[in-house]
Amino acid sequence: MSTAALGRILDLLAEEERLLGELITLAREKQQALIASEYPRIEAVSHRMLETVRQVETREAERMKLLGTLAAPCETLDDLVALAEDHGVTGFEVARDRLLERARELREAQEANARLVLGAIRLRDRWAAILSGHLAPTYGPAGQTTLQEGSGFVSRSA
Protein backbone atom coordinates (compact mmCIF):
# COMPACT_ATOMS: atom_id res chain seq x y z
CA MET A 1 0.00 0.00 0.00
CA SER A 2 1.25 3.43 -0.92
CA THR A 3 1.46 6.31 1.49
CA ALA A 4 1.44 8.47 -1.65
CA ALA A 5 -2.10 7.24 -2.35
CA LEU A 6 -3.13 8.11 1.20
CA GLY A 7 -1.52 11.53 0.80
CA ARG A 8 -3.47 12.15 -2.41
CA ILE A 9 -6.69 11.01 -0.74
CA LEU A 10 -6.02 13.49 2.08
CA ASP A 11 -5.48 16.24 -0.51
CA LEU A 12 -8.76 15.28 -2.20
CA LEU A 13 -10.60 15.45 1.13
CA ALA A 14 -9.19 18.96 1.67
CA GLU A 15 -10.31 19.97 -1.84
CA GLU A 16 -13.79 18.56 -1.22
CA GLU A 17 -13.99 20.47 2.06
CA ARG A 18 -12.99 23.69 0.27
CA LEU A 19 -15.61 23.08 -2.43
CA LEU A 20 -18.27 22.41 0.20
CA GLY A 21 -17.33 25.79 1.69
CA GLU A 22 -17.94 27.37 -1.71
CA LEU A 23 -21.32 25.62 -1.89
CA ILE A 24 -22.23 26.97 1.54
CA THR A 25 -21.35 30.50 0.41
CA LEU A 26 -23.40 30.04 -2.76
CA ALA A 27 -26.34 28.58 -0.81
CA ARG A 28 -26.36 31.64 1.45
CA GLU A 29 -26.14 33.92 -1.60
CA LYS A 30 -29.07 32.04 -3.10
CA GLN A 31 -30.96 32.52 0.14
CA GLN A 32 -30.58 36.29 -0.16
CA ALA A 33 -31.66 36.15 -3.80
CA LEU A 34 -34.73 34.11 -2.84
CA ILE A 35 -35.69 36.58 -0.14
CA ALA A 36 -35.29 39.48 -2.58
CA SER A 37 -37.08 37.55 -5.38
CA GLU A 38 -34.19 38.28 -7.76
CA TYR A 39 -34.88 35.54 -10.30
CA PRO A 40 -31.88 36.14 -12.62
CA ARG A 41 -29.57 36.03 -9.58
CA ILE A 42 -31.24 32.85 -8.34
CA GLU A 43 -30.63 31.23 -11.72
CA ALA A 44 -27.01 32.41 -11.89
CA VAL A 45 -26.24 31.15 -8.39
CA SER A 46 -27.93 27.83 -9.14
CA HIS A 47 -25.71 27.36 -12.20
CA ARG A 48 -22.60 28.16 -10.16
CA MET A 49 -23.73 25.65 -7.55
CA LEU A 50 -24.13 22.96 -10.22
CA GLU A 51 -20.63 23.66 -11.53
CA THR A 52 -19.22 23.36 -8.01
CA VAL A 53 -21.13 20.11 -7.42
CA ARG A 54 -19.57 18.70 -10.60
CA GLN A 55 -16.14 19.57 -9.22
CA VAL A 56 -16.98 17.79 -5.96
CA GLU A 57 -18.15 14.74 -7.91
CA THR A 58 -14.89 14.69 -9.89
CA ARG A 59 -12.84 14.73 -6.65
CA GLU A 60 -15.10 12.10 -5.16
CA ALA A 61 -14.66 9.80 -8.18
CA GLU A 62 -10.88 10.15 -8.01
CA ARG A 63 -10.96 9.47 -4.26
CA MET A 64 -13.06 6.34 -4.73
CA LYS A 65 -10.68 5.13 -7.45
CA LEU A 66 -7.71 5.61 -5.13
CA LEU A 67 -9.54 3.84 -2.31
CA GLY A 68 -9.91 0.87 -4.64
CA THR A 69 -6.12 0.62 -4.93
CA LEU A 70 -5.65 0.30 -1.18
CA ALA A 71 -5.09 -3.18 0.22
CA ALA A 72 -7.69 -2.76 2.97
CA PRO A 73 -11.35 -1.92 2.29
CA CYS A 74 -12.42 1.56 3.43
CA GLU A 75 -16.17 1.95 3.32
CA THR A 76 -16.37 4.98 5.60
CA LEU A 77 -14.21 7.93 6.54
CA ASP A 78 -13.74 6.32 9.95
CA ASP A 79 -12.24 3.25 8.24
CA LEU A 80 -9.93 5.54 6.30
CA VAL A 81 -8.84 7.36 9.46
CA ALA A 82 -7.96 4.06 11.13
CA LEU A 83 -6.09 2.80 8.06
CA ALA A 84 -4.09 6.02 7.75
CA GLU A 85 -3.16 5.95 11.44
CA ASP A 86 -1.96 2.35 11.04
CA HIS A 87 0.39 3.53 8.28
CA GLY A 88 1.59 6.66 10.08
CA VAL A 89 -0.27 9.17 7.89
CA THR A 90 -1.79 11.95 9.96
CA GLY A 91 -4.43 14.54 9.23
CA PHE A 92 -7.32 12.29 8.25
CA GLU A 93 -9.21 12.73 11.51
CA VAL A 94 -9.13 16.54 11.21
CA ALA A 95 -10.06 16.33 7.51
CA ARG A 96 -12.99 14.02 8.31
CA ASP A 97 -14.28 16.29 11.06
CA ARG A 98 -14.02 19.41 8.89
CA LEU A 99 -15.71 17.66 5.96
CA LEU A 100 -18.57 16.48 8.16
CA GLU A 101 -19.00 19.97 9.63
CA ARG A 102 -19.12 21.53 6.16
CA ALA A 103 -21.67 18.93 5.03
CA ARG A 104 -23.83 19.79 8.06
CA GLU A 105 -23.60 23.53 7.32
CA LEU A 106 -24.50 22.95 3.68
CA ARG A 107 -27.49 20.79 4.62
CA GLU A 108 -28.78 23.51 6.97
CA ALA A 109 -28.38 26.23 4.33
CA GLN A 110 -30.13 24.12 1.69
CA GLU A 111 -32.97 23.27 4.09
CA ALA A 112 -33.46 26.99 4.73
CA ASN A 113 -33.56 27.59 0.98
CA ALA A 114 -36.09 24.80 0.53
CA ARG A 115 -38.32 26.37 3.20
CA LEU A 116 -38.11 29.72 1.39
CA VAL A 117 -39.03 28.14 -1.94
CA LEU A 118 -41.93 26.19 -0.43
CA GLY A 119 -43.17 29.31 1.35
CA ALA A 120 -43.07 31.27 -1.92
CA ILE A 121 -44.98 28.53 -3.73
CA ARG A 122 -47.64 28.41 -1.02
CA LEU A 123 -47.97 32.19 -1.06
CA ARG A 124 -48.27 32.25 -4.86
CA ASP A 125 -50.88 29.48 -4.79
CA ARG A 126 -52.84 31.26 -2.08
CA TRP A 127 -52.85 34.54 -3.98
CA ALA A 128 -53.88 32.76 -7.16
CA ALA A 129 -56.74 31.08 -5.30
CA ILE A 130 -57.85 34.37 -3.73
CA LEU A 131 -57.70 36.24 -7.04
CA SER A 132 -59.59 33.52 -8.86
CA GLY A 133 -62.30 33.59 -6.23
CA HIS A 134 -61.77 30.10 -4.85
CA LEU A 135 -60.69 31.24 -1.41
CA ALA A 136 -61.74 34.31 0.50
CA PRO A 137 -59.74 35.26 3.60
CA THR A 138 -61.99 35.83 6.60
CA TYR A 139 -61.51 36.10 10.33
CA GLY A 140 -62.63 33.28 12.57
CA PRO A 141 -64.06 33.47 16.09
CA ALA A 142 -60.58 33.55 17.67
CA GLY A 143 -59.51 36.47 15.48
CA GLN A 144 -57.27 34.32 13.32
CA THR A 145 -57.43 34.32 9.58
CA THR A 146 -59.34 31.40 8.09
CA LEU A 147 -59.96 30.53 4.49
CA GLN A 148 -63.44 29.86 3.25
CA GLU A 149 -64.86 29.30 -0.18
CA GLY A 150 -65.51 32.73 -1.61
CA SER A 151 -67.75 34.12 -4.23
CA GLY A 152 -64.92 35.95 -5.93
CA PHE A 153 -64.12 39.63 -6.30
CA VAL A 154 -66.43 40.33 -9.18
CA SER A 155 -70.17 40.19 -8.81
CA ARG A 156 -71.66 38.28 -11.70
CA SER A 157 -75.02 39.96 -11.19
CA ALA A 158 -73.64 43.46 -11.68
Q: What is the tens place of the pLDDT at every residue in 41-90? A: 999 999 999 999 999 999 999 998 988 888 777 778 888 888 888 888 88
Q: 57, 72, 75, 80: which is closest to 9 by C-alpha?
A: 80
CA pair distance 3, 100, nearest whole angstrom: 23
CA pair distance 41, 23, nearest whole angstrom: 15
- Architecture of 3-148 per CATH? Up-down Bundle (1.20)
pLDDT band at 139 (very low <50, low <70, confident <90, very high): low
Three-state secondary structure call for residue 156: coil
Identity of residue 105:
E
Q: Is the pTM of this model over 0.85?
A: no
What are 100-128's pLDDT values in tens digits? 999 999 999 999 999 999 988 888 888 87
Domain ranges of the chain: 3-148
